[in-house]
Amino acid sequence: MPDQDSRQATASVRAQETRPLPEIPVARPAAKPVRRSWWWRLLWLVILLAAAIELGLWFAGRQASAPTAAATRAQTAASIQVGAATVTKGDIPVTLDELGTVTPLATVTVKSQVSGHITDIKFQEGQIVQKGDLLMVIDVRPFTIALESAQATLAHDQALLANARVDLARFQKLIEQDSVAKQTLDTQRFLVTQDEATVQLDQAAVDNAKLNLDYCHITAPITGRIGLRQVDLGNFVTAGSDALVVIAQIQPITVVFALPEDNLPAVMKQLQAGAVLPTTAYDRSMTTKIATGQLLTLDNQIDTTTGTVKLKAQFDNQDQSLFPNQFVNIRLLVSTLTGVPVVPRAAVLNGAPGDYVYLVQPGDTVAIRPVKLGPADGERVSIQSGLVPGDRVVVDGTDRLRDGAKINIAGKKTAAGTDANATTKKATANP
């Protein structure tokens, strides 16, 4: 019986261990109501305000564009006021424009040919001197003395020569009488020849002394403008080493310029035909004409580094408008095209089709006409193809045109006899 009681007690304990424990209630905080932050309200307010402003601007723009669209439609319906010109026949010169340098026809550096002190200066710096004008004087006293010495030597040797000739004549008579030996006659004859050579040498010394005396008076070798002197009065100059002054010949004067080798055949063709090619010198801005001359010559080879050949033009330069080493623009007239179609430069436009014009069509409309341009002369340009004399092209108001646009040419009378300008203004005022 005790064992049975113990088993019952053990089963009761196990049953209590497997029984689930009762849940213990846990205290939780009460849930707070969720509130929207203030910045969300501000964001919505800004969005609504922006939408209202955008809507107002849209309505305002629509109201403002209404008259503009009406004006545009009226302008489209009305003809466009333009200026027109007629294609004519004309002569267009074919010219080449290049940059050139004015070069004196001759430049001479004057140097002394004798050594000595400068005793006088006879020129003013910058003046025009003529060939042979006296420029400077070198001390002549040493050379005068040398001349006198040479003349004295000459006189002495001339006397010896005269005495030898007298002896020779005497010996020739004595040899006929067989009074002297033939050797004595031959010796005297050679002595005369020797004295003649000595006299000739003395005469050369006299001439050299005279030449040195002339060299003491330095003269201008060419006609031209004299530069700044390099020495002053009293300076000692050495023969051949000291530059005294530089003279540049400026009347006539030349301009040297370079021409691209591609243009050389056209120039050579004219020169070989004996043509005289006029040349005009302009200032740096290519607006003021300075002088007019002609092409003088060209170089004998092309510069391989630049692909150009040098040409030289000559100008009279009587007014001295061209100055040595001055940079000028040169316009060389190669030939002249005669009887070619010519239009104002303002009529030619450039765009997708290349060079083109607005050609006036019957019914006062315009059409785009591609053209091929030729040489130009100022505000005129020649047409190689695309137009013929008598065609009319638009020269003013081209920025508002399009292909097929309706135009009203300025100055043209309507059927009623009123000015086209007034008709256009009226149409614009009352769309």
Confidence (pLDDT) at 416: 28
Confidence (pLDDT) at 414: 36
Q: Taking a C-beta distance cutoff of 8 angstroms, is the pair 94, 375 a contact?
A: yes
* Three-class SS of 103-124: EEEEEEEEECCCCEEEEEECCC
Hey, what domains does the chain have and what are their CATH numbers?
Answer: 81-90+339-416 (2.40.420.20), 95-103+252-337 (2.40.30.170), 141-213 (1.10.287.470)
Q: Taking a C-beta distance cutoff of 8 angstroms, is the pair 326, 283 a contact?
A: no
Alpha-carbon distances of 131 from 18, 125, 126, 222, 223, rounded to whole Å:
148, 16, 15, 4, 5
pLDDT digit string (tens) for the chain, length 431 residues: 445 555 555 555 455 545 554 554 544 544 444 455 667 777 777 888 888 888 777 776 665 555 555 454 544 456 788 899 999 999 999 999 999 999 999 999 999 999 999 999 999 999 999 999 999 999 999 999 999 999 999 999 999 999 999 988 888 888 888 777 888 888 888 999 999 999 999 999 999 999 999 999 999 999 999 999 999 999 999 998 889 999 999 999 999 999 999 999 999 999 999 999 999 999 988 889 999 999 999 999 999 999 999 999 999 999 999 999 999 999 999 998 899 999 999 999 988 889 999 999 988 899 999 999 988 888 899 999 999 999 999 999 888 888 888 988 876 643 323 343 333 333 333 33
Structure tokens of 51?
A: 């939408």
- Please state whether the predicted TM-score (pTM) of the whole model is above 0.75: no
Please write the tens of the pLDDT for every residue from 36-66: 566 777 777 788 888 888 877 777 666 555 5
Alpha-carbon distances of 389 from 256, 322, 411, rounded to whole Å:
40, 42, 21
Confidence (pLDDT) at 420: 37
Cis preceding linkage at 389, omega within 30: no
Q: Taking a C-beta distance cutoff of 8 angstroms, is the pair 353, 371 a contact?
A: no
d(CA 179, CA 328): 90
* Degrees to nearest 5, angle at CA 294 with 288 and 296: 135
Q: Taking a C-beta distance cutoff of 8 angstroms, is the pair 101, 256 a contact?
A: yes
The DSSP bridge partners found for residue 225 are 128, 248
Confidence (pLDDT) at 216: 96
Confidence (pLDDT) at 424: 37
> How far is Cα of residue 55 from the mean position of the Cα atoms in its chain?
61
